[in-house]
Amino acid sequence: MNKIILFTLCLCLTSVAAQAQQALTDNGEVNSPVVHEDQSITFRVFAPRADTVRVWGDWMPRTDGQTEGAEMQYNGEGVWTYTTTPMPSDLYTYYFQMDGVRVLDPENVHLVRDVSTIFNMVIVEGGRGDLYKVQDVPHGTVAKRWYSSPALDRDRRMTIYTPPGYEQKTESYPVLYLLHGMGGDEEAWTSLGRTAQIMDNLIAEGRSEPMIVVMPNGNVYQQAAPGKSPKGFYKPTMQLPNTMDGEMERTFPDIINFVEENYRVHADKESRAIAGLSMGGFHALHTSRYHPDTFQYIGLFSPAIYPGENENAGVYSDIEETLTEQKENGYELYWIAIGKSDFLYDQVKRYRSELDSLEIPYEYLESEGGHTWKNWRDYLSEFIPKLFDKTH
Amino acid sequence: MNKIILFTLCLCLTSVAAQAQQALTDNGEVNSPVVHEDQSITFRVFAPRADTVRVWGDWMPRTDGQTEGAEMQYNGEGVWTYTTTPMPSDLYTYYFQMDGVRVLDPENVHLVRDVSTIFNMVIVEGGRGDLYKVQDVPHGTVAKRWYSSPALDRDRRMTIYTPPGYEQKTESYPVLYLLHGMGGDEEAWTSLGRTAQIMDNLIAEGRSEPMIVVMPNGNVYQQAAPGKSPKGFYKPTMQLPNTMDGEMERTFPDIINFVEENYRVHADKESRAIAGLSMGGFHALHTSRYHPDTFQYIGLFSPAIYPGENENAGVYSDIEETLTEQKENGYELYWIAIGKSDFLYDQVKRYRSELDSLEIPYEYLESEGGHTWKNWRDYLSEFIPKLFDKTH
């Protein structure tokens, strides 16, 4: 038996991959990242020929959104090290810079893509981070599913979370439509957003109704995430055509129709929620008022608010009128959250005063921090327990 | 509108990530990889302070499974370049080595994990590679699904591909159980193996029956892939306990039962196929003879064959007897494929002569190359069109 294992061990690994790994593990000490009992984290990388190695982390303080990262210390034997102070429980992303070049931690295969940048991930447990970790609880199903959008005349891809037991049961569920920001796609909320873990854990704790979470692609120009469509492998970009021109909002019924025809859901307003971050908050705002009797729960996370100057016609005409109609039709929750240092803070402030003057009720959460996934995971975790009548 | 886009553009990108990218794109020339019309590929990386940069590619010739990679040329202005000769259409993986440290191509977000190593991917179109690319054809659904295994007393995770239209139709489908190798998990066949693309494309070409492909985790010791179970984020290893000790084969009915209770499938032998690569070939071999009247189609891709010396009892006792029983019960196809330079070649040769002496019929494909994903994607593409009665 050992013989087979050893043979397979040696040769299944594709050749020099093994060689590169060996240089690290022969050293015997290069474990990275290591979360200590006091919740500090040590990062290590083996780079004997480098002049400088830095670590960049999403927890580091920033000036104008920028951080220099932190210098790693060289131990004289090839290994560079950096240890943080004790960290609050959360999910963190990081990478190294070796002589100015971005390098992922070769010891950590847990990666996440934000637009065109790949980061390593690490979770500090013992609090908020536990919500983002896979726990020993019943798990929902995450599917990558294609659907036809007649209004856009193309097949498009979405991510759908169905709650634990969905397949065995015969009951119907409410639905949250959860929208990503600019540069994101149908993969953002389940990767950076940890939606499946948050849902599994909140449901297991009895803090969330079992629900279906639909995460469509909000870039109507795209069929699917970069690399997942017939366009093939290409480098993602932040800016795409037609992202905030009304097409997403206008064609949103295609998504609802597909979900309500293909899943066991309550196909009524009381059982529909819509939320999104940044551009997705913009889409949630305008979709919910353009279809003003469709959603019972609306969540705007660090939302963009105002359409561009050239976007006064079509979907974006009569904004006050449709907001008023939405209010008159009634809804259970209109929830807005933003960080104090978010660059969209002033837009949200202006929008709140407009809602006030229209006497449109909303709940408001103002958090620390800015336009970050840390905040959006937080906001989702706060928003979910508020959704749907538990006695439906 | 531009204002919103620009603000969002600047700040949605998480701070220094943008900075690092900027260093590359300011240069204006660092596109990588670029596939040229003659099917050669150019790789580039911006690393002005590096002494040496090499590219390692899975197409490079090897001695004893090892390759040195190829030296990249410095242009004097920060950019290192390497261009291949024209390449056959296929999917290729690569990475850079900068002063001895593994570096992924910062311009290419399309990554794939093999055990504990991450690679960049590139597809050269115009032949075999087209089968591995997302094409403009109907797409099946890929779901990550948890199920209960009573025999192992735990919840476990599998990947399931359902063919285009599965959700809209009422008909039932045949099922292929597709097993990964040592160090792999339930994610291997859809990532490195490109199973969803191969299935979509073969079905669209009319070369495959619409079928369900079930990709379980073949390490009974694991609940799920590294990072996807309550064990959290950890570094994957090749060697796990209980991988080839009979537990996978013995408990396989839990997987079949789950699938047949939860999906619209033909629950009969005629509609079941089992195949796997390396350790998964071993599992397919021994599962199919231990449950000798269960599978109509068996595929062994570069299979390990023989249980270890200490594994003579239980599942691995009476191998000849159960193989003979399997033959007598009948099957449609027993298909074995292996590369001429595969380290398991001699095992397969010995097994073939044993099958011959037992007068057990099989089909045999001997390919070039060794124990590689290039071969396993090939073998899957060859095997699939042979499956299932088109008139079922």
Query: What residues of chain B lie within 8 A of the CB of A226, using their CB?
Result: 109-110
Q: What is the mean pLDDT of chain B?
A: 91
B133 min Cα distance to partner chain A (Å) = 7
**Residue among B110, B114, B141 whose CB faces A14 most closely:** B114
3-state helix, strand, coil in chain B (%, to 5): 30, 25, 45
Using pLDDT thresholds of 50, 70 and 90, give the confidence band for residue A10.
very low
Q: A275 forms bridges with which residues in the sheet?
A: A178, A299
Mean pLDDT across B161-182: 95
Give me the mean pLDDT over the B251-265 stretch.
96
What confidence score (pLDDT) does residue B6 get? Answer: 38
- Which residue matches tokens 């999906």? B263
**Which pLDDT score, from 0 to 100, does residue B29 have?**
65
Cβ contacts of A391 within 8 Å, gap of 6 or more: none
Note whether B254 and B150 are within 8 A (CB). yes
Tens-digit pLDDT profile for residues B210-224: 999 999 999 999 999
Percent of chain B with pLDDT strictly greater than 70: 91
Cα–Cα distance, A228 to A219 (Å, whole number): 14
User: In the prediction, which pLDDT does A168 show?
Assistant: 84
Residues with Cβ within 8 Å of B30's Cβ and at least 6 positions away in sequence, in order, are B24, B44, B45, B46, B79, B107
Encode pLDDT of A115-163 as tens digits: 999 999 999 999 999 999 999 999 999 999 999 999 999 999 999 999 9
Give the nearest partner residue to B49 out of A100, A144, A164, using CB atoms: A100
Nearest-by-CA chain A residue for B99: A49
CB-nearest to B67 from A1, A16, A108 is A16
Whether residue B4 is predicted with pLDDT greater than 80 in this model: the reply is no
Task: Report the residue of B5, B7, B14 to disrupt the A interface, i.e. the one with the largest count of A CBs within 10 Å.
Answer: B14
Residue B22 in this model has a pLDDT that exceeds 70: no
Q: Given an 8 Å threshold on Cβ–Cβ distance, is B109 in contact with A111? A: no
Query: Which residue would you say has higher pLDDT here, B62 or A359?
Result: A359
pTM for this entry: 0.92
User: What pLDDT score was predicted for residue A216?
Assistant: 98
Q: Which of A16, A124, A345 to mutate to test the interface with B (most CBs of B within 10 A)?
A: A16
Rounded to an integer, the average pLDDT of B153-180 is: 95
Determine whether the interchain pair B20/A227 forms a contact, defined as Cβ–Cβ distance below 8 Å: no
Beta-carbon separation of A134 and B372 below 8 A: no
What's the CA gap between A384 and A366, in Å, rounded?
A: 17
Dig out the tokens for B115 from the structure.
Answer: 């055990």
pLDDT for residue A325: 98
Identify the weakest region by mean pLDDT among A307-316, B222-231, B254-263: A307-316
With 50 as the cut, is the pLDDT of residue B20 above it? no
**Chain segment B94-143, per-residue pLDDT in tens:** 999 999 999 999 999 999 999 999 999 999 999 999 999 999 999 999 99
A249: left (phi over 0), alpha (psi -120 to 50) or beta: alpha
A234-243, B259-268, B331-340, range with the lowest pLDDT:
A234-243
DSSP E strands, chain A: 34-35, 41-46, 53-57, 70-71, 73-74, 79-83, 90-98, 101-103, 111-114, 117-124, 141-149, 154-162, 175-179, 212-215, 272-277, 297-301, 333-339, 363-367
- CA A95 – CA A107 distance, rounded (Å): 12
Higher pLDDT, B67 or A228: A228
ipTM, two decimals, is 0.91
Chain A: closest CA distance from residue B177 (Å): 19
Query: What distance in Å separates residue B196's CA from the closest CA in chain A?
Result: 11
Q: What is the mean pLDDT of chain A?
A: 91
Find the angle CA(B177)-CA(B179)-CA(B184) to the nearest 5 degrees: 150
| Chain A residues within 8 A of B8 when measuring between CB atoms | 181-182, 238, 278-279, 304
Cα of B371 to nearest chain A Cα, Å? 6
